Amino acid sequence: MKAEILLPLPVPGTYTYLIPPDMEEEAVFGKRVEVQFGRKKLYTGLIVGIESGTGDQLKMIRDILDDEPVIREIHYRFWKWMAEYYCSFLGDVMNAALPAPLKIDSETVLQLNVDHDYDEMDLEDDAFLISDALSIQNELTWGDIQEILQKKSINKNVNELIDAGMVDVKEKALRKNTHETVKTLMWAAEYRDNQKAVMEQVSRSKKQTRAVLAFTTLRREKKPPISRYEVMTKSDTDHATIRALIKKGILLETKIKKNFLGELIFRKGMLPPLVDFQKKALAEMEQAFESTPVVLLEGVTGSGKTRLYLEWIRRVKEAGQQILFMIPEIALTTHIIHRLEAIFESDVIVYHSRVSEKSRMEAYHSVRFGAPLVIGTRSALLLPFQNLGLIIVDEEHDRSYKQLNPAPRYHGRDSAVYLALLSDARVILGSATPSLESLVNVQEGKYGHVMMKERFGLMEMPEIQIVDMRQVQMSEEQAEIGFSPQLLQAIHQMLDAGRQVMVFQNRRGFAPVFLCDHCGHVVQCDSCDVSMTYHKFSEKLQCHYCRKEKPVPKECPSCHFWSMKMYGMGTEKLEEHLQSLLPDATIDRMDYDTASGRKRLERILTRFSNNETQILVGTQMIAKGLDFENVGLVVVPRADQLFSFPDFRSAENALQMLRQVSGRSGRKKEKGQVLIQTYNPDHPVIQSLMSGDDRGFYQQELEERKVFRFAPYYRMVKVTFRNKNRKKNTQVAYELYHYLQASFGDRVSVPVEPLVSYINHYYLLDVFVKLHRNRKEGTFFRKRLNHFIREVKSRPGFSNFRMIVNVDPI
């Protein structure tokens, strides 16, 4: 028998291996196996197919690693769809789906050859360092050695040691502890209180005697369960010993699940009754689900979308099905997780890229055993749900749902819809500012649509005022920070009334540009074609693309005058200036620099929610989902920055951002205010914001998207060429352009430079293709593209040439 094996590698297709006869029974779909791939490497693969027959040339499966399959066919179908739709490899999807401990691979390991005598004096310095370390550690990996020698190329040194016969190179599989179950032991009934009978049974074997004595001691020392492993370690015996004891009927073995998070209990009072308009929305959702599995819940900020989600969570849980609650991005949504965790008495599974490997494993297996609720980012879609009933996609418009790197570059919302389709589950897409993608699906009748236009507690929507900056006179001090007198007055009033203020500034750091007043020289990053941002706290210039830092130059690097000045405004500078204008106010800042760690982020949020902070300055981090009751004013001093990006989505995003951030104002207690400063008060985004109804704006946007053949009407694909050699990069990009033009005509763009086209010493070029939204065209395009990529990579010197495919780029 042969098995089709999927490997966690970016290679097309699967590989066929022979199943050793004694493993045939055990070999079933979805179990992991250990196989050799390439000359020496060992990998964990996954059985994704079994067929009869043999093949002389085929390698054997070395081992089967699971008792139970880790995925089922339905999960594999989802993986296949994802790989196909997003033009990536199945191995990439496997890699993203399985927690690291489920993917052993081999590492080169050096061991000391104990039978070999050598004279240390004969060794070169580097070789001596290695042998010295080996005598202490027994084993070193390639990485360890690189660290010890402080260099990358260690081949020569290692070879020297091998040639001298001093070390052995061993290819060793790292079998990490992956067992979701623990094997535990207990006395068989007839031996339970009969130590004497036991000893008689084992008297002929030293090992068995030791094991039995160890088990007896353990029973006395601690409460059950006692694991097989504990007994083996304590008695210094092995699996065979324990197996013998089981066979003799002395010990019984059972398996228990490790850390299974299977409960879901609502804390008392956490599901307050729905109010009338929420009840109405719930009924409408029920009705919408009759005809479509996907419903867009469009509710203004503060309408209680979360309350409705909870209602559905309760229902689906009672029906015995699983629920996935998706949030866009972990750093920005700690607050939401806290809110949800407060609602449940039981532990909730939280799953995202930053939880520990241990928690990921726990989550993986709990979900596999049917745990009812997972809160997670897009990667949670790849968990092995058994009985999925509902996926909630909160803030469905959020761009962070799209994976940028590495492959598969999938969209969390769209993949959720597909997964639900496969699993016969429902999807709720929730937002106060839905994406155009979802609105079009509503218009085309694919999704249901339910609106909530009121805020909970009869709170009125905040009043939005525009400050026309073309008309404003400012003092020098005010001009420096860019706050009009009107804006400052509003802040003063709000603070006097004991309420809090949020200031939205979409740029972090102190000052975006550091330039010479004399010759105009701008300090640029050496690796990227962007100017560096001054960070006052660290007293350094930082590149926001590659994160490299530079000291602040005293004189101009170009004309050598002492004339370097800072221009522009970042959150850090804004906070400082605001403090000098309002010396008595307590101000805090929330951005990538201050809220990088979870602890720091939490501290900022707690202080603000306890009213210890009066003003919170922040980037888009403060726009999302925060629910603070005492915020009376939200100000946006520089709204124009938001819609001046050269991107076809910038108007849509600007409106979403401004609505979201406005929505933080006046959520409880009294009506809130929003003040927006702009030089373009007639801009459609501002006009729509003022009118309170975005339909007209969306319709206009959609018309334009249709005319210019953009998403959501067309499926866009971006192919990025990334190379240190500019000429080579440009040449291949143009080749692709011409090649695709033959099939797709003017729906292929000439290679264009992205906004920042040189990052970290790499030149970047993008080719855009606009495809019709049907499967046939998708398949055809993928074939063409793969053909091209294969051809390029087969050229001498091009095997590593990078072409990054991004379907539905954001």
Ligand X SMILES: Nc1ncnc2c1ncn2[C@@H]1O[C@H](COP(=O)(O)OP(=O)(O)OP(=O)(O)O)[C@@H](O)[C@H]1O
Give residues in contact with ligand X (CB under 6 A): 272, 274-275, 278, 299, 301-307, 432, 456, 625, 627, 663
Identify which range of 71-79, 248-256, 436-444, 546-554 contacts Zn ion by CB under 5 A. 546-554
We find the least distance from the C-beta atom of residue 545 to Zn ion, in angstroms, to be 5
We find the least distance from the C-beta atom of residue 546 to Zn ion, in angstroms, to be 3
We find the least distance from the C-beta atom of residue 433 to ligand X, in angstroms, to be 9
Q: Where are the beta strands (DSSP E) in 7-87?
A: 15-18, 32-37, 41-51, 63-64
**How many CB atoms within 10 Å of residue 374?**
24
**519 is annotated as contributing to ligand binding:** yes
278 binds, among Zn ion, ligand X, none (CB under 5 to 8 A by kind): ligand X
We find the least distance from the C-beta atom of residue 452 to ligand X, in angstroms, to be 7
Q: Which is nearer to ligand X, 335 or 508 (CB)?
A: 335
Would you tell me the crossing angle of helices 695-707 and 650-662 to the nearest 10 degrees? 160
525 binds, among ligand X, Zn ion, none (CB under 5 to 8 A by kind): Zn ion
We find the least distance from the C-beta atom of residue 667 to ligand X, in angstroms, to be 6
Torsion sign, CA atoms 390, 394, 398, 403: negative
End-to-end CA, the chain: 46
Burial class (CB in 10 A: 0-12, 13-18, 19+), 118: middle
We find the least distance from the C-beta atom of residue 747 to ligand X, in angstroms, to be 37
For the chain, what is the largest distance between any 2 Cα atoms, rounded to a whole number of angstroms? 101
Beta bridge partners of 262: none
Work out whether 546 is an interface residue with Zn ion (CB under 5 A).
yes
Identify which range of 198-206, 233-241, 477-485, 524-532 contacts Zn ion by CB under 5 A. 524-532
Cα 369 from chain centre: 23
307 binds, among ligand X, Zn ion, none (CB under 5 to 8 A by kind): ligand X
Give the up-direction half-sphere exposure of residue 458: CA atoms within 13 A in the CB hemisphere: 0
272 binds, among ligand X, Zn ion, none (CB under 5 to 8 A by kind): ligand X
Q: Which is nearer to Zn ion, 216 or 527 (CB)?
A: 527
Q: Which is nearer to ligand X, 97 or 392 (CB)?
A: 392
Instruction: Please state whether the peptide bond connecting residue 10 to the residue before it is cis, i.e. omega within 30 degrees of 0.
Output: no
Q: Which is nearer to ligand X, 53 or 273 (CB)?
A: 273
User: Between the CA of residue 132 and those of 113, 121, 147, 743, 755, what are the distances in Å?
Assistant: 13, 12, 14, 63, 52
Q: Which is nearer to ligand X, 272 or 696 (CB)?
A: 272
We find the least distance from the C-beta atom of residue 459 to ligand X, in angstroms, to be 8
User: Between the CA of residue 800 and those of 299, 404, 408, 794, what are the distances in Å?
Assistant: 48, 20, 19, 10
304 binds, among Zn ion, ligand X, none (CB under 5 to 8 A by kind): ligand X
648 binds, among ligand X, Zn ion, none (CB under 5 to 8 A by kind): none
User: Between the CA of residue 806 and those of 409, 486, 541, what are the distances in Å?
Assistant: 6, 45, 31
We find the least distance from the C-beta atom of residue 443 to ligand X, in angstroms, to be 22
For strand 615-618 and strand 540-542, is the pairing parallel, antiparallel, or unpaired? unpaired
Work out whether 550 is an interface residue with Zn ion (CB under 5 A).
no
User: Is the CB of residue 156 less than 8 Å from the CB of residue 233?
Assistant: no
Q: Which is nearer to ligand X, 256 or 270 (CB)?
A: 270
We find the least distance from the C-beta atom of residue 302 to ligand X, in angstroms, to be 4
Q: How far apart are CA 749 and CA 766, in angstroms?
A: 9
Instruction: Please state whether the peptide bond connecting residue 372 to the residue before it is cis, i.e. omega within 30 degrees of 0.
Output: no
Q: Which is nearer to Zn ion, 102 or 530 (CB)?
A: 530
Beta bridge partners of 431: 298
User: Between the CA of residue 7 and those of 65, 84, 100, what are the distances in Å?
Assistant: 14, 16, 14
**556 is annotated as contributing to ligand binding:** yes
Size of the site for Zn ion (CB under 5 A): 6
Q: Which is nearer to Zn ion, 6 or 541 (CB)?
A: 541
Q: Which is nearer to Zn ion, 50 or 546 (CB)?
A: 546
**87 is annotated as contributing to ligand binding:** no
User: CB neighbours of 108 closer than 8 A, spacing ≥ 6?
Assistant: 141, 142, 169, 170, 171
Looking at 390, 528, 654, 658, which residue binds Zn ion (CB under 5 A)? 528
Q: Which is nearer to ligand X, 55 or 272 (CB)?
A: 272
Q: How far apart are CA 336 and CA 339, in angstroms?
A: 5
We find the least distance from the C-beta atom of residue 756 to Zn ion, in angstroms, to be 9
Site string for Zn ion, 221-260 (x = CB under 5 A): ----------------------------------------
We find the least distance from the C-beta atom of residue 809 to ligand X, in angstroms, to be 26
User: Is the CB of residue 253 less than 8 Å from the CB of residue 185?
Assistant: yes
User: CB neighbours of 330 closer than 8 A, spacing ≥ 6?
Assistant: 352, 353, 354, 377
594 binds, among ligand X, Zn ion, none (CB under 5 to 8 A by kind): none
DSSP string, 595-648: S-SHHHHHHHHHHHHTT--SEEEESGGGTSS---TTEEEEEETTTHHHH-SSST
Work out whether 541 is an interface residue with Zn ion (CB under 5 A).
no
Q: Which is nearer to ligand X, 278 or 322 (CB)?
A: 278
Burial class (CB in 10 A: 0-12, 13-18, 19+), 586: middle
306 binds, among ligand X, Zn ion, none (CB under 5 to 8 A by kind): ligand X
Site string for Zn ion, 483-522 (x = CB under 5 A): ----------------------------------------
191: three-class secondary structure by DSSP = helix
Work out whether 527 is an interface residue with Zn ion (CB under 5 A).
yes
625 binds, among Zn ion, ligand X, none (CB under 5 to 8 A by kind): ligand X
543 binds, among ligand X, Zn ion, none (CB under 5 to 8 A by kind): Zn ion
Q: Where are the alpha helices (DSSP H) in 257-388?
A: 276-291, 305-318, 334-343, 357-368
Looking at 226, 543, 634, 651, which residue binds Zn ion (CB under 5 A)? 543
527 binds, among Zn ion, ligand X, none (CB under 5 to 8 A by kind): Zn ion
Task: Using only the alpha carbons of the chain, give its radius of gyration.
Answer: 31
Q: Where are the beta strands (DSSP E) in 321-453?
A: 322-326, 349-351, 373-376, 388-394, 426-431, 448-452
Q: How far apart are CA 5 and CA 49, in angstroms?
A: 7
We find the least distance from the C-beta atom of residue 456 to ligand X, in angstroms, to be 4
303 binds, among Zn ion, ligand X, none (CB under 5 to 8 A by kind): ligand X
We find the least distance from the C-beta atom of residue 310 to ligand X, in angstroms, to be 9
Work out whether 556 is an interface residue with Zn ion (CB under 5 A).
no
Q: Which is nearer to ligand X, 508 or 664 (CB)?
A: 664
User: CB neighbours of 193 closer than 8 A, spacing ≥ 6?
Assistant: none
Work out whether 579 is an interface residue with Zn ion (CB under 5 A).
no
545 binds, among Zn ion, ligand X, none (CB under 5 to 8 A by kind): Zn ion
For strand 41-51 and strand 2-6, is the pairing parallel, antiparallel, or unpaired? antiparallel
Q: Which is nearer to Zn ion, 447 or 762 (CB)?
A: 762
528 binds, among Zn ion, ligand X, none (CB under 5 to 8 A by kind): Zn ion
- Residues near Zn ion (CB under 5 A) are 525, 527-528, 543, 545-546
Residue ranges at the known binding site: 516, 519, 525, 528, 543, 546, 556, 559
Residue ranges at the known binding site for Zn(2+): 516, 519, 525, 528, 543, 546, 556, 559
